[in-house]
Structure formats: structure tokens, C-alpha cells
Chains A and B, each alone.
Chain A
Amino acid sequence: MAVSELGGVVELEGWERVPEQPLPSRVLSGILRFARAKPLGAFCGFVVIFFMIIGDLVPETLNKASSLAGLGTPAPYLADVLEKNTTVVYPYFQDSLRDRLEGSSLNHLLGTDPTGRDLFSRILFGARTAVMVSFGAVFISQAIASAIGIASGYYGGLADKLAYRVVDVFTALPGLVVLITVLGVFGSGLWQLILVLGVYGGPLNSRVLRGQTIYIMASPFIDAARVMGASDRRIMLRYVLPNVFPLIILAATVQLGFIVLLEATLSFLGYGLPEPYPSWGRMLSLDGRNYMRAHPGLAIYPGVAIALLVFSFNLFGDALRDVLDPRLRGSR
């Protein structure tokens, strides 16, 4: 019997090896099963994807990466494409004072704001900031959480105790209070917000991953890998990480909705994104608040957008949890 370096069985006399299905088709069949089992959750998953698309998550990330590498911004934005090709989508900063504070019409689907900017377009472009902030912060947060959780669960001992202390301190920091303090002092911008929210959430999410890591560490295949001489890093990345991945996904979906609400709350208190970002939270807290009586649309539509996005994140996450969480397997 031939055994590969990592303990995977390669060849066995007399046994026929069933080729493993390629990853994409496994994922696809998994999604279909999910959709059949949890139709509502799947639907919300599509809504999430919809927001990701209109929020231009992929183009924005690509562009940011390439501009950091000095290659400019090649990826096209869906919102820009829509703007150029349809009459109902305007540039989000385009004023038209003569058309200010209009109600819904064929020209302006949701009306206009106090300087004549089209509300529908601003909500559309606002999806980009909402999606960027939430996905960005969650990505950073989960990355940090995984690093801390897996490493401290793996190594144990002093490093673990130290990390635990750090996590404790972060947990002891009162969330909104700290955020207000930090943002109030340093000012707020898109990347500051993403960083602050991400770094703050990181340690908080690491506990569960640490617990799961400790659980996995007791498994025999970890011992087998050690015996094979696999390095610590390899074990953590190749064995532990894939097994905690479902938990990361779960935590991420919950966090996504939370971050969107948190950003809205911060904007409401005045610590959110500044001009010119068309952030929903800012729209609610500036125009929304002042025109609540005179032109309620300005307050209602961004609020609905936020609620819709968070609702979809949460419902999708819920359905996902029902499927993925090993602890709930029995109670479905």
C-alpha cells in the first residue's frame, strides 16, 4: 500500500479508487442541496449575492489591489455601466438644484435629495460602501480571529494564555464606546472604518475558533500528520483550517449584518463615513433626520435598504447555520 507524505492513501491493491469529484461540481451540488433543503435561506443567499453585485464588491477589490500595485483601476463597475446606459441611474454626486426634493417619478424612481441628487442612484451606489465596509471588516476580522484562534488552540501553553488575556481585554472593551472614542479621535474614512471594525472584531471572534481547534487537535489524523513529520504551519493550514472553515463562514455571516448596522449607528452618532461616500447610514443620519417630516422618503428608503441587506445576511446565515453547525445537527 502506498501512502503519500501527508498520510493520504494513494494506491491500494485490489481496491478501485473512485475519482474524487472536482471541487466546483461538489460545491455546485452542495448549493443545490442547500437550496432544496432551505429555500428561504437560499433565496436570501441570492439576495446577498445580488447586493454584492450591485455593490461592485469584486471590481472594487480588484481595483484597490491593482491600484496598490500601481496598475491603475481596470475593472469596470456595474453601477457605472448602469449609469451610462439607463436613464434611471444617475451619478450619485450629480446635483440638480431645480429638481430638489421631488417625489417619485419616472425620471427619479425614489425622488431626489435636497440638492437634487437622485435617491435611487445614491442608494445603488451606497450599496458599494455598505458591502465594502461589511465584507472588508468581516474579512479582516475573521482573518485575525482565525490566526489567533487556531494558533492559540494549536500551540497551547503560555502563548495560549497570553492570547486569551488579550482576547479578554478586547472583550472587556465596551464596543460602541471604544469605537466612538477611536473614530472621534482619529476621524473616519472608508479604510479607517474597515480597519477599526475589523481589528476590533478579530479577537472577539477567536474564542469559538480556538475551542474548535482544541477539539480538532484531539483527532487521530493530526497525530498521523505529526508522525509523518508535517510542520506546524502545514498542519494548521491543511488540517485545522478546513475543519474550522464552516464556523468561520457562520461567524462571518452573522457579523456581516452586525457590521452594517454598526456602521449605520456610527453614522447616526456622527462618526461614520464622510463626504463624498454615499453611505446609507450617513444618508439616514443627515438628510433622513432633517427631512423626516418634510420629505420622509429620504429617511425611509435608506432605512429599508439597510434592513433588507441585514435581513438577507441574517436569514442566509441562519439557514447556513442550520446546515453547517455540527452542534445543531440533531435538532434540525
Chain B
Amino acid sequence: MQTYILQRLLLAIPTVILVTILTFLFLRVFLPANVIDQIMGEYARTDLELRAKLEKELGLSSGLPNQYAEWLGVAWFWGGPEGVLQGNLGESLYNGKPIMSELIHRVPVSLELGLWGQFSALALAMPLGVWAALRQDHWPDYGLRSLAILINALPGFWVAVLLLTFGSLWFDWAPPLRFEYLWDDPVAHVGIMLTPALLIGLTPSGGLIRLVRTQMLEVLRQDYVRTAYAKGLASHAVLYRHALRNALIPVVTVVGVGLPNVIAGTVIFEQIFLIPGMGRYLVTSVDNLDYPVILGLNLIFAVLLVLAVLIVDISYAFIDPRIRFS
């Protein structure tokens, strides 16, 4: 077991590194316009002196491998600046704020929003999926499946904007303007996160309903369920004690693996509901071509994803003995 975990961990590291190298190369080498253009505005391509000066100031003038080494923190070992390995993600090229401290505030917010989203998707999908499975091939099943697929087909941001517009028009409703952190004002915080979380959970809930349904169907067909019925257990006992738990394992897997993507997908909802998470930070920095931030964010996203996959793999190993001993 330990070797399995160790193995997976070790494999994860080169993956993350490759991701950062890819992003780094991509941003520094293939960029047609860059950050200096942004800062210099209209004289960006004509005032070469100032350009050279700014490039030097911002650390964009030394060679690429050097820049990467500095960013990674490898250079620290021979007297260079701190880098990722030392926990320093650098500073924003524009406002000079250290990226790490920004992310410390933002990552929990996006993570939380993503979690709430998945949770609400699950909360919606479970009862509906189970019901559809129990009423398979009858009208509730068809209706729910179609509804699920319909929900899945709606662009989430479209629903959000519709909600904002018509909520305001018909109900004089507007989401809270100011964001409150959980530790500052828990009640307000929940109020702020509620609507976007529900909306984030809406699209994946469609897929989850179908998944829960499929899993339930498969489980209900199993011998041990038939045995339980034969033993004389009431149907709801069969359901909750035996069937549901087993049915949910792959569902939880999907939810877990889906989480980092949901984090990436919170971008739009953060923008619409004014939530200061990672997504908005990313969009702003891509617009501003703020290299260190884009790099840092890609790194964090990659790490989160790899971690999520790792956790899922490891929990699989715990649950399914066959994998442990393969």
C-alpha cells in the first residue's frame, strides 16, 4: 500500500514540473505581445530605450533557462532569488503584490465555491437519480433523464445572467455587493455563496443524475441486493443500507475528480457574482499579460488537479483491494 502511494506521488511530481515548463515556455517564447507593451501603452513599440530599461527592471532580460530556474527557486541554491521551492511565487508585474499572499486569500474562496457547487450538484442529483432508477422505464424516469440532460445543456453563465436580469426586474433582487469571508461574517458569507454555488452545481447535476441512476440500476441488479430482498428486508432498508453506499462510490469519484475543473469553471460565476477567487484573478492577469501570476495560477491549478487525482486513486486503492495488490 505504501509503495503504491509513494509510487503515485513520485509520478505526480514530474507531471507538475512538466506542466510548469510548458506554461513557462509558452508564455515567454510564443507570446506575440507582452507585458511591456501593456505598461508602455502607445509608445510600446517605438520608445526602445525605455523598453530596454523596463525589461531589465522586470527581470525579463536574462536568458530563458535562467528565468525559469529563478522562478522555480532552483537558483536560490546558488545565491539567486527565492522561488517556488521556497514558497515564493514572485510578484505581480504590475502592482508588485506578492502572488502567494494573494493566492492565500483567493484559493480557499474558489475551492470553497467549487466544493459548494459540487455538493449542491450531488444534493440535487442523488434523490432524483435514485428515484429515476427505482422508476426505471416509467414516465418519471424518462422525464427526469430528459430534465437532467436539459439542465446539462444549458450554459451556466446564461442562466446566471438571466437570473440577475430578471431577478432584478421582477423581484428587485440583487446579490450582495460586498464579499464577506467566512471568518468575518459567516451568515453573510453563506448568503453570498448560496446562489452561485447552486448555479455552479446546476450543469454538472445533469450528468450526475444520470450517473447515479446508472449506478443504482447496476447495483440493484446485483445478487446481494436480491438476497437482501429475499431475506425480507424492507425496500428502503435495502436501499440505504446496501445499495446506495455501493452505488455512490463511482459517483464520489466523479465528484472528486471533477472538483478542480469546477474550480477552473468558477471563473464566470466569480465574475458575475463578484466573488474574489482565483478565476477572476486569472482572467485579469491574462488580460494584462501578467506572467508571474499566470504561471503561478497554472501551477496551483495543476497541483490541485494532480492532488485530486492522487487522492481519488489512493482512495480507490483503499476501497478496491484488487488495485492494491495489482
Contacts and interface: CB of A to CB of B under 8 A. Distances in A.
Direct A–B touching in the complex (beta carbon < 8 Å)?
Answer: yes
A174 B261 contact: yes
Contacts of A177: 264, 282, 297-298, 301
Given A174-B301, A178-B298, A293 B169 contact: yes
A65 interface: no
Interface string A175-209: 11110111011100000000000000000000000
Contacts of A228: none
A106 B19 CA distance: 55
A94 B198 CA distance: 40
A171 interface: yes
Interface residues of A, number: 45
Nearest to A257: B153
Interface stretch (A14-22, A114-122, A304-312): A304-312
A299 B161 contact: yes
Nearest to B169: A293
A171 B305 contact: yes
A58 interface: no
Main secondary structure of the interface of B (DSSP, over half): helix
A282 to B, nearest CB: 13
A264 interface: yes
Given A174-B260, A175-B264, A265 B150 contact: no
B16 A306 contact: no
A184 B287 contact: yes
Nearest to A161: B11
B265 A176 contact: yes
B298 A171 contact: no
A314 B158 contact: no
A309 B309 CA distance: 31
Given A172-B19, A257-B153, A264-B155, 14 more contacts: A169-B19, A173-B298, A174-B263, A178-B298, A180-B267, A182-B26, A185-B32, A185-B286, A265-B268, A281-B155, A303-B158, A307-B154, A314-B153, A315-B146
Interchain residue pairs A-B with the least CB separation, the first 8: A174-B301, A310-B153, A311-B153, A174-B264, A292-B165, A184-B286, A176-B264, A303-B158
